[in-house]
Structure 1
């Protein structure tokens, strides 16, 4: 029996969602017991709508997860659920965390020392250079770099961490078997070898504009702080910064040219209280890291 079968099946039930799945498992004890619950037992759960009850009680046989299990095996993936000891500790602390993650690669206990680096897809040469330098310096100190695999700043952040021989986690707005953008497929394989590729979306899920804001809450949730490098005023990176503040995380920003649209978002963050970052030391002195390497402080 595949150990992930019931978790995937519960994830596929319409009208549920992560919060209610978590509540059901906590109430009944396991996904197996949730799926075996009677109509009367399910009806006693506050806030559980009739459509979800009907699916759980009568229609789970209509949901075919064989393709999900096949795809998970093909990408050498696994599931980390909220009761798994490997479920990221930082993520457990946010409001409405994913009740499970699809994962390719490996999450480790030391990934609690993580920093998210995000920014515009239309990054300048300068922005990508600074991002790689900062990611390298932080990764050398043992800090896991978290980002979203997008073009521009995200890609540079992952690359910088890998160049330093460090760990990095990519959070997708699609299934872990659907890599977007396509040109980052090779990078994704490297990330999976030296970190993890994760998503709350089921296998086969295509990228969708509505997924990315939700994805951003996981990027910040996995991290102790969020660094924004180059972001116009309507950048998704600012959504990640907002999530960070809601989650009680620190927000950092690299200042930029006041005439550049790419600097308007970061400069505004600094005006509003984000810590200005010129080197990795500006972050290291602000946050507490449990597994920080005791080497000479080389920042860039």
Structure 2
């Protein structure tokens, strides 16, 4: 089944890699993070002030009016929090970002979960957090078949235009990320460490590859090492960024089942791949199925189920792009030009440019698959998918069963 997500490429406009948060704004947001306590009062403060700098300058009376407690107010009034200088240094490097709750580029799906992070640290392309994504999770010690299934699902989802999100853990997570990367897809890794701390260490090379072509996301300050309590809580972010969660293999007690539960509580679809009754790594999936998760044997079932949410997210994307096209250089509420979220290359360009002409020539009146269009045009899969989105929205291209052809 075809969805709007099928034509949404991994945004790779390098403008996203050049944006940065001004140090004063970043420092103020770090203070709001460090003061801890209840989340909602700090969200309210940011919403009313418009940005973190103004929120910090508002003073004690405004802080109290927003519901901040005495310990929170004392923290905001005190010395700079530990790690602030190191974090500000980290943010100065290319492709390093911090996105606050108040920022228009904060991922829309993540706003809908319980306890959304006040800020996200992103290494890589932050616009991918707006991309329709599917989370793939499972055992750290999967069977060979489970690892192959995760990679196959990931490759197929990537070819269909979805990003693949996972937690970069050993086993199923690693297979999902690698499967997506192997076909040039967009992948998002959600860490329980700082965004610059690969875990496990064996995934250091994978971490670097995802930073280069995808996005690594964390709610923890750069430099934060692995702590047992961080991994279950990071699962809410992983579940929240995805339109749905696919569990490939999982024991009865596993982090994958936590992610699945959090996804269901956030109103997202949960899918489970069944396995042998003799495989202990399949028992968690079987429990999920008994509890109401959708049993899936192929990626087409996942795509069909997620079509309505993918269409809604594509509409949000289109409206955000429209706002950016009307004021492409207008500063955001925190005083800078923003990360220009999902603005795939060529999307705002004229359809008469050379790349669009190459793709138009590659298209015919017979349905043609994505791989063949990439080969014919000489463009990247990301460029082709981005331009196909524009052509489809303009009524120039029709999509049927993952194949594209001219509408006239």
TM-score normalised by structure 2 residue count: 0.68
Q: Distance in 1 between matches of 2:153 and 2:263?
A: 19
Distance 1:211 1:62, change over 3 A: closer
Give, in angstroms, the shift of residue 52 of structure 1. Answer: 1.1
Check conservation: 1:75, 1:177, Cα contact below 8 A.
no
Contact 1:88 1:107 in 2 (8 A): no
Shift of 1:18: 4.0
Corresponding residue for 1:204?
223
Indicate whether 1:189 and 2:208 are aligned. yes
8 A Cα contact 2:250 2:284, kept in partner: yes
Q: 2:69 matched to which residue of 1?
A: 49
How far is 1:134 from its partner? 0.6
- Correspondence 1:4 to 2:23: no
Please list, as runs of the form range in 1=range in 2, the aligned pairs for 1:264-275 lying within 5 A after superposition.
Answer: 264-275=283-294
Match of 2:52 in 1: 31
Distance change (3 Å), C-alpha of 1:173 and 1:61? closer
What aligned pairs does 1:82-231 form with structure 2 within 5 A after superposition?
Answer: 82-108=101-127, 111-231=130-250
Q: CA contact under 8 A between 1:98 and 1:200: conserved in structure 2?
A: yes
Tell me the CA shift for residue 147 of structure 1. Answer: 0.4
Aligned residues: 295
String of CA shifts for 1:145-175, please: whole Å, max 9, x gaps: 0100000000001011111111010000010
Q: Once the 2 structures are TM-superposed, how far is the Cα of residue 20 of structure 1 from its aligned partner?
A: 3.3
For residues 45-100 of structure 1, give each alpha carbon's deviation from its aligned partner in whole angstroms, at most 9, with x where no partner exists.
Answer: 33x2211111223x034656111112333574111122333321211222221121
Superposition TM-score, scaled by structure 1 size: 0.91
Shift of 1:117: 0.3
Is 2:31–2:81's contact at 8 Å kept on the other side of the alignment? no
Gap regions ≥5 residues in structure 2: 1-21, 315-384, 389-398, 404-408
Give the Cα–Cα distance (whole angstroms) in 2 for the partners of residues 9 and 56 of structure 1: 6
Higher relative contact order (CA 8 A, sep 6+): 2
- Contact 1:173/1:199, CA 8 A, preserved across alignment: yes
Pairwise CA distance, 1:28 = 3.1
Partner of 2:264, secondary structure, is helix
Alpha-carbon RMSD = 2.1
Instruction: In structure 1, list runs of 5 or more residues that go unmatched.
Output: none
Q: Is the 8 A contact 1:148 1:172 kept in 2?
A: yes
